[in-house]
Amino acid sequence: MNKYYPHLFSPIRIRNTTFRNRIFAPPTGTRFRRLEQERLFEADKAIGGAAQVTICETYVSSKYLRQTKQVVPVLDDPNDRLILAETANSIKFHGAVPSIELSHIGPYSNKHYAWSPDPIGPMEYTRPDGIHVRAMDEDMIEEAIEDFANAAAVAELTGFESIMLHGGHGWLIAQFLSARTNQRKDRWGGSLENRARFAIEVIDRIRKKTSKDMIIELRVSGDELVPGGQQIDEIKEFALMVQDKIDLIHVSAGIHEVRDTLTRMFAHTTFTEHGCNVYLAEAVKKVVKIPVVTVGGITSPELAEQILAEGKADIIGMARALIADPDLPNKARRGQRDRIRPCLRCNSCLHGCVHRDNFNCAVNPKAGHELLWKTLPTPTRSRKVVVVGGGPGGMQAAITAAERGHKVTLVEKSPALGGLLKISDQDPLKDDMQEFKKYLIRETKRLVPDIMLNTEGNPELMKKLKPDVIICAVGAHPYLPPVPGINGDNVITAVDSFCHPEKIGARVVILGGGLVGCEAALFMAHSGKKEITVVEVQNKLADPIYWRQSDPLLKALRADPRVALLTETSCREITSKGMRIADKEGNEKFIEADTIICATGLLSDRETVESLRFCAEDFHDIGDCVRPLKIMDAVQRAYFAAMDIL
Ligand SMILES: Cc1cc2nc3c(=O)[nH]c(=O)nc-3n(C[C@H](O)[C@H](O)[C@H](O)COP(=O)(O)O)c2cc1C
Ligand code: SF4
């Protein structure tokens, strides 16, 4: 028995397979579709100790594709078998069970190719984008069932030992199952028994076309979380209908087409509690006899252990936690809890792969770049490296350089490490970020013996330290716009507002309604301020591109009667009594306030960068001092700069 997390590390036997622990890596579609990259990304989860690794949504038919064949593997394409076989091997060779998610997206397919037919679904309708969806007739239903079964057979042939059948998130199986999307009058619609028929026939056909050892894990949405959508009571009934046919039931939530539900399905953020779907798994577990998997915002081994110990689920799905740190299972098992790199639940990974076909993780610079970092040369000598700046970028650079055998000194001018991550210290909505800050500080202290706090990294110091390499991570200063009164005693920067809420009066105006300004507004509301006004010159708030973060943030702000959100409004003047603003027509108004929070962005500290540029043989500037961006950009650049020291 594992002495740290006994339930989490107790093996479980399903069919003829023993899983080494209770941590599964659910699919995280990266859209790499480059053999080596996909293989290495998934292999790392197996190397890190997960019991099962499921590769992302693979489509059962190349007729019905959401993305092009360049980005998703398709099981009826013989060219993809090589990719799949190599990936399965890479998971299996490292002791995890290779699993593949089989999906038919039905109505959501797109006409990428000349041969793409119109999408299909249980019902005929016209999508909001004008695409006609055909109601599936008996032949089409039979074809889809056969596609699933053939795909499963190919999956087994290529080495997968487990199938995750996607019966949730609003894809085709879920469409048949839910009365919201299936009002057919024939044997495929109407009663739950009829609506479940498609799923059951798919499962039965898969059983026929695969060996007796093949594990079938059915992923469902325990609650579709939309009016008229499937709810847990029906899912429990459905689970009872299928439990003798499948091996595991995996309970997620939500549907992909309704943004609001994504925060419970894919993109749990800091606005959603950790383990937000556990109650759904628990409800299913109470009625079935097969193992139940829970998923959603479970990022710590403690929570995972607790869920298992309380009998709420049998297996824990950790998707993003294993992107953030694929070694989480091994570290937890060995009692190295403090060394687990925590996931921020920021959804940069999802954002990158969905919107930019560029998968990255905010805290794990290696994720998605395995092909690059695994092939970089190893240093042949130990160099003297001075890292200037103890924010996330500086700490990451120091950690990586030290891990690579260099002699590292970290110089930080303030009394503490952490840099801008200090904004998380008092904000309960930034608890994940706080964990990341603590992790970076712990790792820095563990690996870097020479940390100089309260020390300015200037050319004089460099003369004394004589580094071979300087990594300059000196960050950025708040940008203060040229507005009358901006230097007044009642003006505080957004960063300071997070650190010192006690300095802020009851009536607050926040200048700048970007992500930081809106987060500051919510923090002020949580800190008990009475009137909070956000003044934004553009016609948008927060960061609409990062809507997975912005949506719940704006929802919370709009629901709070103390908060006023003013867009297309500019600041004309700040006085000791408040702020004079003007709308886009130029109509002026005065808002009385005790404190003005300035959230108008950051300016890179280029002066310090340039003063240090020639103080060592090699020099790298990284993070906000190059361009103020996100944590991810700083951490990534830091890691690769340190990797470049040879
Ligand atoms: C980058 C990314 C890609 C994902 N791709 C898929 C996918 O292809 N199929 C799927 O069913 N779920 C997918 N998911 C959802 C995850 O499997 C999981 O249900 C979700 O992330 C919640 O778990 P977590 O909080 O542990 O991350 C994806 C999630 C992420 C973050
Ligand atoms: S990008 Fe953010 S949400 Fe995704 S795994 Fe990394 S830290 Fe977690």
Query: Closest Cα partner for 550 from 264, 295, 347?
Result: 347
Q: Among 48-57, 357-366, 634-643, whose mean pLDDT is lowest?
A: 357-366
Percent with pLDDT over 90 in the chain:
80
For residue 589, the SS3 value is: strand
Q: Which CATH architecture has domain 379-476+606-643?
A: 3-Layer(aba) Sandwich (3.40)
Distance from Cα 218 to the centre of ligand 1, integer Å: 15
343 CB near ligand 2 (under 6 Å): yes
Calpha distance 527→470 (Å, rounded)? 40
Give pLDDT, residue 33.
56
- Check if the beta carbon of residue 239 is closer than 8 Å to that of residue 287: yes
Residues 373-383 have pLDDT tens digits of: 999 999 999 99
**What's residue 242's pLDDT?**
98
Ligand closest to Cα of 100 equals 1
SS3 assignment for 266-309: CCCCCCCCCCCCHHHHHHHHHHCCCCEEEECCCCCHHHHHHHHH
Q: Which residue has the higher pLDDT, 353 or 637?
A: 637
Residue 416 DSSP class:
S
Give the Å distance between the CA of 243 and the centre of ligand 1. 24
Query: pLDDT tens, 54-96?
Result: 998 788 988 888 777 666 777 777 777 887 888 999 999 999 9
Look up residue 389 and give its two tokens.
């700046």
How far away, in angstroms, is 173 Cα from ligand 1 center? 18
The answer as to CATH 3.20.20.70 being correct for domain 12-372 is yes
pLDDT at 269: 78
Atom of ligand 1 nearest to the CA of 252: 19
613-627 confidence digits (pLDDT tens): 999 999 999 999 999
- Mean pLDDT, residues 607-616: 98
- The pLDDT tens digits of the residues spanning 133-180 come to 999 999 999 999 999 999 999 999 999 999 999 999 999 999 999 999
SS3 call for 452: strand
Please report which helix (H) or strand (E) contains residue 133, including its range.
strand 132-135
What's the gap in Å between 59 CA and the centre of ligand 2? 25
Q: What's the gap in Å between 55 CA and the centre of ligand 1?
A: 10
Residue 302 to residue 4: CA distance in whole angstroms: 9
Ligand nearest to the CA of 53: 1
**Using CA of residue 410, residue 413, residue 418, residue 421, what is the dihedral sign?**
negative
The confidence score (pLDDT) of residue 262 equals 72
Give residue ranges with CB within 6 A of ligand 1. 26-29, 56-57, 101, 166, 169, 252, 266, 268, 295-298, 317-321, 349-350, 353
- What is the distance, to the nearest Å, from the Cα of residue 422 to the centroid of all Cα atoms in its chain? 21
Average pLDDT over residues 18-44: 85
510 Cβ inside 6 Å of ligand 2: no
- Domain coordinates in residue numbering, the chain: 12-372, 379-476+606-643, 491-600
The C-alpha atoms of residue 635 and residue 324 are separated, in whole angstroms, by 12
Q: How far is the CA of 350 from the centre of ligand 1 (A)?
A: 8
**Of 22, 23, 28, best ligand 1 pocket probe by most atoms within 8 Å of the beta carbon:** 28
Question: Ligand 2 centroid vs 320 CA: distance in angstroms?
Answer: 6
Which CA distances in Å does 444 have to 271, 326, 389, 390, 440? 29, 20, 12, 9, 6
Say whether 638 sits in a helix, a strand or coil. Answer: helix
User: Does the C-beta of 195 come closer than 6 Å to ligand 2?
Assistant: no
How far, in Å, is the centroid of ligand 2 from the Cα of 319? 9
Closest residue by CA, ligand 2 atom 2: 346
Helix, strand, or coil (residue 96): coil
What's the CA gap between 247 and 289, in Å, rounded? 10
For the record, the structure tokens of 264 come out as 């419970």
Mutation test residue for ligand 2: of 269, 272, 298, 320, the one with most atoms within 8 Å of CB: 320
Ligand 2 within 6 A of 103 CB? no
The CATH code of the domain at 491-600 is: 3.50.50.60
Q: Which residues pair with 111 in a beta bridge?
A: none
The angle, 0 to 180 degrees and rounded to 10, between the axes of the packed helices 392-403 and 431-447 is: 40
Give, using CA atoms, the residue closest to atom 21 of ligand 1: 266
Q: Which of 225, 266, 364, 632 to mutate to test the pocket of ligand 1 (most atoms within 8 A of CB)?
A: 266
Task: Please name the residue whose Cα sits nearest to atom 1 of ligand 2.
Answer: 361
C-alpha to C-alpha distance for 532 and 497, rounded to whole angstroms? 13
Q: Which conformational region is residue 186 in: left (phi greater than 0), alpha (psi within -120 to 50 degrees), or beta? A: beta
> In testing the pocket of ligand 2, which one of 364, 440, 635 has its CB within 8 Å of the most ligand atoms?
364
323 lines ligand 2 (CB under 6 A): yes
* Burial per residue of 159-181, b for 16 or more beta-carbon CB atoms within 10 angstroms, e otherwise: bbbbbbbbbbbbbbbbbbbbebb
Choose among 409, 415, 388, 403: nearest CA to 447: 403
221 by DSSP, 3-state: which? strand
* Residue located nearest, by CA, to atom 5 of ligand 2: 320
Greatest alpha-carbon span in the chain = 83
- Note whether 12-372 and 491-600 share their fold: no
Band of residue 31 on the pLDDT scale cut at 50, 70, 90: low
Q: Check whether 630 has a pLDDT greater than 80.
A: yes
Rounded to the nearest whole angstrom, what is the distance from the C-alpha of residue 244 to the centroid of ligand 1?
27
Q: Which atom of ligand 2 is nearest to the CA of 367?
A: 6
Q: Whose CA is nearest to atom 23 of ligand 1?
A: 296
Beta strand pairing status for 12-14 and 17-19? antiparallel
Q: How far is the CA of 27 from the centre of ligand 2 (A)?
A: 14
CB 220 within 8 A of CB 251: yes
Residue located nearest, by CA, to atom 6 of ligand 2: 361
How would you classify the pairing of strands 588-592 and 578-582? antiparallel
For residue 69, report the phi and psi dihedrals to the nearest 5 degrees: -65, -10
Task: Establish whether residue 270 lines the binding site of ligand 2, counting it when its CB lies within 6 angstroms of any ligand atom.
Answer: no
Q: State which ligand 1 atom lies nearest to the alpha carbon of 56.
A: 8
Cα-based torsion angle of the residue sequence 552, 556, 557, 561 in order, rounded to the nearest 10 degrees = 160
Instruction: Write down the mean pLDDT value for the chain.
Output: 93
Apex CA 389: angle with CA 383 and CA 392, to 5°?
100
Degrees to nearest 5, angle at CA 435 with 432 and 437: 115
Can you name the residues that pair with 55 across neighbouring β-strands?
100
3-state helix, strand, coil in the chain (%, to 5): 35, 20, 45
Q: Is the pLDDT of residue 268 over 80?
A: no
Task: Please state the length of the chain.
Answer: 646
Ligand 2 atom with the smallest distance to the CA of 360 is 1
| Residues forming a β-bridge with 565 | 534
Q: What letter does residue 615 receive in the DSSP assignment?
A: S
In which residue are the tokens 């699993």 written? 99
pLDDT at 646: 96
Cβ atoms within 10 Å of 293's Cβ, excluding its own: 25
Checking if the pLDDT of 281 tops 60, the result is yes
> What digits encode the pLDDT tens for the residues 385-410?
999 999 999 999 999 999 999 999 99
pLDDT of residue 356: 62
Q: Which residue has the tokens 């556990």?
A: 278
Q: Is the CB of 363 under 6 A from ligand 2?
A: yes
Query: Of ligand 2's atoms, which has the minimum distance to the CA of residue 364?
Result: 6
How open is the CA angle 340-341-347, to the nearest 5 degrees? Answer: 135
Q: Which run of H or E residues covers position 606?
A: helix 606-612
ipTM above 0.90, yes or no: yes
- Tell me: pLDDT of 298 over 80: yes
Q: Contact at 8 Å (CB) between 518 and 508? A: no
DSSP-derived secondary structure for 316-381: EE-SHHHHH-TTHHHHHHTT-GGGPPPP----HHHHHHHHSS----SS-TTTT-HHHHTTSPPPSS
What percentage of residues in the chain have a pLDDT greater than 70?
97
Mean of pLDDT values over 345-350: 89
| Residue 259 to residues 253, 420, 426, Cα–Cα distance (Å) | 12, 30, 29
> Does the pLDDT of residue 35 top 70, yes or no?
no
The structure tokens 């599936």 sit at 136
